[in-house]
Every structure is written in structure tokens, then in C-alpha cells.
Amino acid sequence: MAELQFRFATEGDVPLVLRFIKELAEYEGMLDQVVATEEALYEWLFEREKAEVLIGEYDGESVGFALFFHNFSTFLGRSGIYLEDLYVQPNVRGKGFGKAFLKRLAEIAVERGCGRLEWWCLDWNKPSIDFYLKMGAEPMEDWTVYRIAGETLVKLAEKS
């Protein structure tokens, strides 16, 4: 039986990455919020190098991705890895690929001397929450995520 193989995305993978982002957003009921374009992904992934993408391949086909970037913990005094998106196509779920992605990301974090691997999960996504807990992840219940975006961000940035 074939195993999941990993590779870092290349510039030619941008359409695939966008497709996976849209598939994930559809699963999360948030497809209407996806405004990313191939051009934007190319710029931020390959020109500005602000994030990295792992592609998972099974039996010669791309079946999932993990998009991540480095953050920094002042308390640890070193970087961590923030996992923005992890997606495995529905037709290959249940084969341990989610676990394999997290294992590979943990390996990258350790290889790079990072202090942690973290991510957010939607509160309603019980299957993912159960999976993460089974993997040993700990929910950060004392923290609330805050966001400033869109017009509010622009207004905040305006000079007075």
C-alpha cells in the first residue's frame, strides 16, 4: 500500500493550493469569504515568502495541504510554527493522513528549533477537535482571538 509523501509547494502549485483552500472553505461553510487569488498567493508565498505549503501526495495524486508560517513567542524567546490550514480531501480521510501531516509539521518545528506548533479550530468542528485532542493537543481555553480587518483595519491605520 502506498504511503503519503510530502513535498513543499512550488510556484506551479499555486492553482492547486487555491483549489484546496476553496475546498476547505466549502467544508467550513465559508466559501463566500475566500477572496484569495492565484496572483495573491503567488506574491505572498513565493515573492514575499511569508508562508510555506506542504503538499501531501498519495498514489501519485495531491490529496491535501498544510499552509503554515513562523510566529514568535517572547516567553520562549524563539519561533514557533502556526498552522493556518490543514486539509485532506474527503475521499482519502481515515487513512491517517491528518496525523501524518501533523507529524511532519512537528518534525519541521523540531528541525528548525521551534518551541511550539499551534493552530485554531472552529468551535463547531467536533471531529477535528476530537482528533487534535487524541494527538495530544491542548486547547487554549483562557485565550480569545481578536481580529481587526477590512475597513476597520484601514481606519485604524489612517493617520490622525
Spell out the alpha helix ranges (H) of 13-94. Answer: 14-27, 38-42
Rg (CA), the chain: 17
Q: CA 45 to CA 24: how far, in whole Å?
A: 18
Identify which of 69, 77, 66 has the alpha carbon closest to the alpha carbon of residue 49.
69
Residues 6 or more apart whose CB falls under 8 angstroms from that of 12 comprise none
Identify the helix (H) or strand (E) that includes residue 154.
Answer: helix 150-157
Instruction: Please pick, among 27, 82, 132, 146, the residue that the annotation labels catalytic.
Output: 132
Active site residue 27: no
Angle at 120 between CA 53 and CA 19, to 5 degrees: 40
116 backbone φψ class: left, alpha, beta (φ>0; ψ -120 to 50): beta
Residues belonging to the active site: 132
